[in-house]
């Protein structure tokens, strides 16, 4: 696990931003940039890794954490709590800019016969294109990233999602081969520029195969035969396809914390506002309740205890409201008035309280007297103080983990697609998550208690929990399985969780013909609502069509 290096030289290349998705041509070629013959792929590597890590955290600690009910916001919350998205909510512009940088790294690595850098580039390409197709569906792929060849490449066709996944598998298989030699066989590696694994080739190889495993399971409902064969091929040959099985190998990118650009997104060092990101984001009641039921020690790592619990008093005047020894004692009349007007019951828990899903006035929750958006609520749990910091050992962009890989293997074993015990892999997934979050000493009591394995649903619940701050994976699992059984809150835009991002208005306006073809391949659901076309967050991409999942 390595940090973003604040003194790394970053090259912004001429070809970097002509990504051949029409609507992005405002990102013009820089005539002063270095020619490709002068490019050092090592200097591009940290730029792409950093951008990928920040993008993944932006998803997994942002709106998608709201969708899967890891977090809720008590200010500026409509996109987070209510899925109030539209065709100007999410753009893939930055993804393709990163991919163009990465493509330049790949091409230069091929020219210079730099197998390590080429392997890394293929892994990052797979990761970024994987996110794009997971989030939107069909997308520019085969003709993307060619804008520097001429204007005729600006109107890129949208490749079908099935083809994109197939290309991902091909690239990851090639990466595995490139990264399979002895460490001494590689040259030109600059350890400090690899801010993920410090130039350790074997760890990148594990990353490649673990990512392939993720995507085979992603296809498990849509293409079960392909998924089964792919998973079996990997699992049956561990020497050829090593995996991330221990948290020591997790693909984690840490934050350096010297500027707002390289700091954890909720830090209060660079965002000192009392209504800043840290104060807006709180754990969701759905997750808090699940963790409390399991007596899960990770709860205390992720959240603070309630600063001032509520205590209900009887036989007191109706206006009784007094703080005694750090607890707020109130009358039944005050509680009744709050519950009648607010619509949510008072939570008297003295340790941890999360925000219910779909709040519209979250700042007032649980008798809070400060109703300004995004402020400290004495009667609900704030995020742990570590999330105020700009950097720290637990503040990581967790791109893929041993916990996730073991849960995938548990699911595969449960399906009969992999040898071994589903329970054993499940237990190992929890152990590696505990290891990652520094609570491994609590594992024995936990696994022998409420978290003891009882079946398939447990795997998805624990994987959902373990994806804290990486919630996009929990969303993708929910779409595929319907687990956990998450229900939208009162203010949700639709009476179901969303399934994808809308294609952005820039693409619809500027690459109209190709975008419309992709939109027409989407399948509307009963929750299409007032969306004017199939370009809806409640339409099904190819991956979900015909699966009856999650609805």
List, in sequence order, every residue forming a beta bridge with 3; answer none if it has no partner.
Answer: 254
Distances (CA, A) of 135 to 127, 226, 386, 491: 12, 21, 29, 23
Q: Where in the chain is the domain with CATH 1.25.40.390?
A: 2-262
Among 143, 139, 168, smallest CA distance to 519 is for 139
Q: What are the two backbone dihedrals, phi and then psi, of residue 310, each rounded to the nearest 5 degrees?
A: -95, 135
Domain 2-262, CATH number (from 1.10.3720.10, 3.90.1150.10, 3.40.50.1820, 1.25.40.390): 1.25.40.390
CA angle (244, 130, 226) in 5-degree steps? 75
Token code pair at residue 361: 């006035």
If DSSP codes are grouped into helix, strand and coil, which group holds residue 151?
A: helix
CA dihedral 384, 390, 395, 400 (to 10 degrees): 140
Here the tokens at position 523 are 């399948």
Helix runs in 348-489, H state only: 402-415, 422-436, 443-447, 456-466, 471-481
Half-sphere CA count of 427, side-chain side, radius 13 A = 15
Q: What is the pLDDT along the chain (551 residues), one digit of tens a residue?
A: 444 443 333 333 333 344 445 444 443 343 334 455 678 999 999 999 999 999 999 999 999 999 999 999 998 999 999 999 999 999 999 999 999 999 999 999 999 999 999 999 999 999 999 999 999 999 999 999 987 777 777 789 999 999 999 999 999 999 999 999 999 999 999 999 999 999 999 999 999 999 999 999 999 999 999 999 999 999 999 999 999 999 999 999 999 999 999 999 999 999 999 999 999 999 999 999 999 999 999 999 999 999 999 999 999 999 999 999 999 999 999 999 999 999 999 999 999 999 999 988 889 999 999 888 888 999 999 999 999 999 999 999 999 999 999 999 999 999 999 999 999 999 999 999 999 999 999 999 999 999 999 999 999 999 999 999 999 999 999 999 999 999 999 999 999 999 999 999 999 999 999 999 999 999 999 999 999 999 999 999 999 999 999 99
Question: 535: helix, coil or strand?
Answer: coil
DSSP letters, 238-294, are TTTS----SGGG-EEEE---SSGGGS-TT-SSS---TTSHHHHEEEBHHHHHHHHHH
pTM of the model: 0.94
């Amino acid at each position: 696990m390595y940090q973003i290096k604040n003194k790394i030289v970053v090259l912004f290349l001429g070809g970097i931003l002509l990504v051949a998705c029409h609507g992005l041509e405002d990102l013009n070629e820089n005539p002063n940039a270095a020619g490709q013959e002068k490019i050092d792929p090592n200097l591009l590597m940290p730029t792409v890794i950093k951008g990928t890590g920040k993008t993944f955290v932006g998803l997994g600690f942002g709106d998608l954490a709201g969708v899967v009910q890891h977090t809720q916001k008590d200010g500026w919350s409509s996109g987070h709590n209510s899925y109030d998205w539209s065709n100007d909510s999410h753009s893939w512009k930055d993804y393709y800019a990163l991919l163009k940088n990465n493509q330049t790294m790949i091409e230069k690595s091929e020219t210079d016969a730099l197998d390590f850098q080429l392997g890394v580039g293929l892994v990052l390409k797979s990761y970024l294109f994987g996110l794009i197709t997971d989030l939107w569906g069909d997308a520019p792929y085969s003709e993307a990233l060619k804008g520097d060849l001429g204007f005729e490449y600006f109107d890129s066709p949208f490749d079908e999602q099935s083809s994109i996944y197939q290309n991902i598998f091909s690239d990851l298989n090639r990466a595995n081969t490139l990264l399979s030699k002895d460490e001494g066989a590689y040259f030109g590696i600059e350890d400090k520029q690899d801010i993920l694994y410090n130039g350790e080739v074997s760890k990148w190889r594990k990353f490649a195969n673990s990512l392939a495993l993720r995507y085979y399971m992603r296809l498990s409902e849509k293409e079960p035969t392909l998924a089964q064969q792919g998973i079996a091929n990997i699992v049956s040959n561990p020497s050829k396809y090593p995996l991330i099985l221990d948290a020591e190998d997790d693909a984690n990118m840490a934050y350096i914390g010297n500027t707002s650009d390289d700091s954890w997104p909720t830090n209060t060092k660079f965002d000192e506002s009392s209504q800043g990101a840290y104060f807006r984001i709180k754990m969701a009641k759905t997750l808090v309740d699940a963790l409390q039921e399991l007596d899960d020690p990770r709860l205390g790592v992720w959240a603070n205890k309630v600063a001032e619990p509520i205590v209900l008093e009887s036989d007191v005047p109706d206006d009784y409201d007094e703080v005694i020894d750090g607890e707020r004692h109130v009358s039944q009349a005050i509680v009744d008035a709050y519950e009648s007007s607010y619509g949510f019951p008072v939570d008297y828990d003295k340790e941890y309280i999360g925000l219910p899903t779909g709040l519209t006035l979250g700042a007032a929750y649980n008798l809070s007297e400060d109703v300004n958006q995004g402020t400290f609520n004495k009667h609900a749990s704030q995020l742990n103080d570590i999330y105020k910091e700009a950097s720290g050992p637990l503040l990581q962009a967790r791109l893929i983990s041993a916990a996730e890989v073991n849960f995938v293997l548990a699911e595969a074993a449960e399906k009969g697609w992999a040898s071994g015990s589903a329970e054993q892999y499940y237990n190992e997934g929890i152990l590696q998550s505990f290891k990652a979050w520094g609570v491994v000493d609590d594992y024995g009591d936990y696994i022998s208690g409420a978290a003891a394995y009882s079946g398939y649903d447990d795997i998805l619940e624990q994987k959902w929990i373990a994806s804290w701050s990486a919630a996009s994976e929990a969303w993708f699992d929910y779409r595929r399985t319907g687990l956990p059984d998450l229900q939208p809150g009162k203010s949700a835009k639709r009476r179901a969780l969303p399934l994808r991002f809308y294609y952005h208005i820039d693409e619809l306006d500027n690459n109209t013909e190709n975008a419309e073809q992709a939109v027409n391949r989407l399948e509307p659901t009963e929750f299409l609502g007032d969306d004017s076309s199939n370009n809806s967050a409640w339409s099904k991409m190819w991956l979900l069509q015909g699966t009856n999942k999650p609805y």
